[in-house]
């Protein structure tokens, strides 16, 4: 079983890595992949504990671990059985990371496509290129209203995109789940506290993504989330359990 000291060693190693958030995420996935399911869950539990206790390296690395569970699952053996094993181990903080359910609200796919077609007459290829390359902030703001995830993905790599606009994209309601998930997948933007907060409080975000964001929130965010009836119940319950466990992840 992964001990707290072993978890600290792993956290220190990942925290010392240089490079992008994607590099750290893939390194976190390798750490999880080389263990059996029981050890993997114990390691996750200890990292969550250390982050909630306010240890800075753990607060920085936890996001890489939770992102790896969603984006690198194919490289983690037994990923599908981790929730069941966490429940057997009574590691609720880990089991919570694998909750799946429909979003609390969902914009009809046909209605979203119709709205896109009404607002934008250009071809999809043109919209993708424009989203990625435009220098005009007004055009970029319009691109942020598109429901097509391919357009959103290109907008997210535009160097002129601002955090304020990404927060607006993350908080947009009504919304399709796909563009919200694209924001979560973005290494450049997911590290921003305001972006995480906008995503997790959006009732159109799929809970399977939301539960991977909740442990990254600070105590005041958790308190607000636990009381917010507009979000999925699984997120409120997860926030309440983390609060009951004590500790706080600092704002970043």
DSSP character string of 7-70: HHHHHHHHHT--S-HHHHHHHHHHHHHTS-HHHHHHHHHHHHHHHHTT-HHHHHHHHHHHHHHH
**Same domain, residue pair 71 and 152:** no
pLDDT in tens, 177-231: 999 999 999 989 999 999 999 999 999 999 999 999 999 999 999 999 999 999 9
pLDDT in tens, 5-24: 999 999 999 999 988 899 99
pLDDT in tens, 37-49: 999 999 999 999 9
pLDDT in tens, 234-245: 999 999 999 998
**Same domain, residue pair 137 and 87:** no
**Same domain, residue pair 32 and 146:** no
Q: With bands split at pLDDT 50, 70 and 90, how would you rate the model's confidence at 246?
A: low
pLDDT in tens, 117-127: 999 999 999 99
Q: Which of 98, 123, 157 is the last residue of a domain?
A: 98
Q: What is the pTM of this model?
A: 0.92
Task: State the CB neighbour count (10 A cutoff) for residue 121.
Answer: 8
Q: Which of 79, 98, 117 is the last residue of a domain?
A: 98
Q: Which of 98, 122, 145 is the last residue of a domain?
A: 98
Paired tokens of 239: 């926030």
Kindly provide the b/e burial profile for residues 193-225, where b requires at least 16 CB atoms within 10 angstroms of the residue's own CB: bebbbbbbbbbbbbbbbbbbbbbbbbbebbeeb
Q: Is the pLDDT of residue 131 over 80?
A: yes
Tell me the C-alpha distance between 166 and 72, whole Å. 24
Tell me the C-alpha distance between 145 and 102, whole Å. 22
Exposed/middle/buried for residue 191 (C-beta within 10 Å: 0-12, 13-18, 19+)? middle
Q: Is the pLDDT of residue 252 over 70?
A: no
**Same domain, residue pair 165 and 193:** yes
- Containing structural domain, residue 230: 109-244
Paired tokens of 107: 């914009």
How many separate domains does the chain show? 2
Q: Is residue 40 part of a domain?
A: yes
The residue among 65 and 18 whose pLDDT is bigger is 65
Q: Is residue 57 part of a domain?
A: yes
Q: Is the pLDDT of residue 59 over 60?
A: yes
Question: What pLDDT does 245 receive?
Answer: 84
**Same domain, residue pair 114 and 221:** yes
**Same domain, residue pair 76 and 116:** no
Q: Is residue 235 part of a domain?
A: yes
């Amino acid at each position: 079983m992964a001990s707290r000291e072993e978890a600290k060693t792993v956290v220190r190693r990942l925290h010392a890595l240089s490079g992008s958030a994607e590099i750290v995420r893939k390194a976190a996935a390798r750490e999880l992949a080389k263990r059996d399911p029981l050890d993997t869950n114990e390691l996750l539990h200890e990292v969550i504990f250390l982050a909630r206790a306010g240890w800075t390296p753990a607060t920085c690395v936890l996001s890489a671990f939770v992102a790896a569970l969603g984006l690198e699952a194919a490289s983690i053996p037994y990923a599908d059985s981790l929730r069941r094993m966490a429940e057997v181990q009574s590691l609720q903080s880990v089991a919570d990371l694998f909750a799946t359910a429909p979003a609390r609200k969902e914009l009809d796919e046909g209605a979203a496509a119709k709205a896109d077609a009404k607002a934008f007459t250009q071809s999809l290829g043109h919209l993708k290129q424009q989203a990625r390359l435009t220098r005009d902030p007004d055009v970029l703001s319009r691109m942020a209203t598109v429901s097509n995830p391919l357009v959103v993905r290109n907008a997210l790599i535009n160097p002129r995109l601002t955090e304020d606009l990404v927060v607006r994209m993350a908080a947009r309601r009504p919304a399709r789940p796909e563009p919200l998930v694209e924001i979560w997948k973005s290494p450049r933007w997911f590290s921003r506290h305001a972006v995480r907060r906008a995503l997790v409080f959006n009732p159109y975000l799929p809970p399977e993504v939301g539960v991977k964001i909740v442990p990254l929130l600070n105590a005041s965010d958790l308190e607000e989330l636990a009381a917010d009836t507009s979000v999925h119940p699984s997120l409120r319950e997860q926030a309440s359990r983390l609060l009951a466990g004590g500790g706080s992840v600092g704002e970043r």
